[in-house]
């Protein structure tokens, strides 16, 4: 059950689509010397990290993002108290979009009564406070299944850019309302299908030629049916997806998550590639610079990827 505080926040975000911080016309004009030197390209650097509710990991991620000159940051498993600190510290200069979580943490996000709060997804544009947020809380059937996505829209070099932070379901799930058990991979496939539909219908339909970036913890390895949806060229026209943590035509790349079993649903350790930064190919080259992967105190590594967006 969602507590009243989180319910109010969820409703406010779902209905208004607001981003924290005051809205102004300031932001990224896309006219800096670096972009002019690149001719028809504008670089965009994204930092992706599932921080697993840990304060020190959040701070290191933010420090790294600032040092790397990141234009966007995608975070998962951010405690509500951490969201409030983000707003208090950066809400006056960054656009911070939040999707409240659907279930309480098993550990972390501690509350005074001994229970655990609901970790959120966060998407950040560091170029100003004029970004627009869209929350996608219902990504599959049933709608209350874990997993969701939040996006912040901003302009880069006069191109509308949608940066999304996605966190997909991790394992099989029992609906607490009906007692029905659902296969986790099947739900993940619905969720990645929904992401492609969002892109097709909202970013690339008709005369739109927006740029889509979907970063997050997909809880699935690259050669599985749910991830097939992200890699397949199934949209037609403009706007399929690519990512750069791979070698040539292969989907295989560096591992991005390591678990000793203490935080996994089944108690088993793993080491695998499950965190991604996807770029839409209408404005991104199919192949690009290698990603920077940093192991941290989280079970998930910090992934930094830069794309040369076509203007």
Range of the domain at 272: 4-310
Q: At what angle do helices 4-16 and 80-90 cross, to 10 degrees?
A: 50
Q: Among 49-53, 77-81, 230-234, name the one with the lowest average pLDDT.
A: 230-234
Phi first, then psi, for residue 203 (nearest 5°) are -110, -25
Cβ contact 268:258 at 8 Å:
no
**Among candidates 119, 128, 137, 104, which has minimal Cα distance to 17?**
137
Q: pLDDT tens across 148-192, in order? A: 999 999 999 999 999 999 999 999 999 999 999 999 999 999 999
**Among candidates 131, 138, 172, which has minimal Cα distance to 153?**
131
Cβ contact 161:208 at 8 Å:
no
Domain CATH for 263: 3.60.10.10
Q: Please tell me the distance from the alpha carbon of residue 168 to that of residue 218, in angstroms, as a whole number.
A: 5
Place 233 in a pLDDT band, splitting at 50, 70 and 90.
confident
Q: Please tell me the distance from the alpha carbon of residue 254 to that of residue 240, in angstroms, as a whole number.
A: 22
Place 249 in a pLDDT band, splitting at 50, 70 and 90.
confident
**Among candidates 186, 270, 272, 182, which has minimal Cα distance to 229?**
186
Residue 239: predicted pLDDT: 72
Q: Return the residue matching tokens 């607001």.
A: 18
Write down the mean pLDDT value for the chain.
86
**For residue 289, is it left (φ>0), alpha (ψ between -120 and 50) or beta?**
beta
What is the value of pTM for the model shown? 0.86
Q: pLDDT tens across 79-99, in order? A: 999 999 999 999 999 999 999
Query: Does residue 140 register a pLDDT over 90?
Result: yes
Name the H helices within 17-54: 33-37
Q: What is the DSSP string of 106-158?
A: SSSSB-TTS-B---EEEEEETT-S--EEEEE---SSSTTSS-EEEEEEEEETT
Between 189 and 34, whose confidence is greater? 189
Q: pLDDT tens across 179-225, in order? A: 999 999 999 999 999 999 999 999 998 889 999 999 999 999 999 99
Residue 259: predicted pLDDT: 73
Query: Does residue 10 register a pLDDT over 50?
Result: no
Place 32 in a pLDDT band, splitting at 50, 70 and 90.
very low
Identify the burial level of 80 via C-beta atoms within 10 angstroms of its C-beta, where 0-12 means exposed, 13-18 middle and 19 or more buried. Answer: buried
- Considering its fold, how many domains does the chain have in total? 1
Place 266 in a pLDDT band, splitting at 50, 70 and 90.
low
């Amino acid at each position: 059950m969602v507590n009243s505080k989180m319910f109010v926040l969820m409703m406010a975000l779902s209905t208004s689509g607001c981003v924290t911080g005051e809205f102004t016309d300031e932001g990224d004009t896309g006219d800096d010397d670096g972009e002019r030197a690149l001719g028809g390209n504008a670089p965009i650097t994204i930092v992706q990290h599932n921080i697993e509710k840990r304060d020190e990991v959040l701070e290191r991620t933010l420090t790294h993002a600032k040092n790397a000159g990141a234009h966007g940051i995608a975070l998962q498993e951010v405690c509500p108290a951490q969201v409030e600190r983000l707003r208090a510290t950066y809400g006056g200069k960054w656009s911070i979009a939040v999707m409240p979580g659907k279930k309480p943490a098993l550990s972390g996000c501690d509350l005074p009564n001994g229970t655990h709060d609901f970790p959120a997804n966060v998407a950040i544009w560091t170029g100003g406070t004029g970004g627009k947020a869209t929350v996608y809380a219902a990504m599959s059937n049933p709608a209350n299944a874990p997993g969701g996505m939040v996006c912040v829209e901003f302009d880069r070099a006069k191109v509308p850019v949608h940066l999304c932070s996605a966190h997909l379901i991790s394992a099989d799930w029992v609906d607490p309302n009906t007692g029905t058990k659902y296969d986790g991979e099947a739900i993940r496939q619905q969720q990645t299908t929904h992401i492609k539909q969002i892109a097709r219908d909202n970013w690339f339909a008709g005369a739109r030629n927006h740029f889509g970036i979907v970063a997050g913890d997909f809880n699935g390895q690259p050669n599985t049916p749910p991830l097939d949806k992200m890699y397949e060229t199934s949209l037609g026209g403009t706007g399929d997806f690519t990512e750069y943590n791979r070698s040539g035509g292969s989907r295989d790349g560096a591992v991005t998550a390591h678990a000793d079993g203490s935080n996994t649903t089944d108690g088993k350790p793993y080491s695998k590639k499950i965190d991604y930064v996807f770029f839409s190919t209408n404005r991104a080259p199919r192949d690009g610079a290698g990603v920077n992967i940093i192991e941290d105190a989280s079970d998930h590594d910090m992934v930094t990827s830069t794309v040369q967006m076509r203007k």
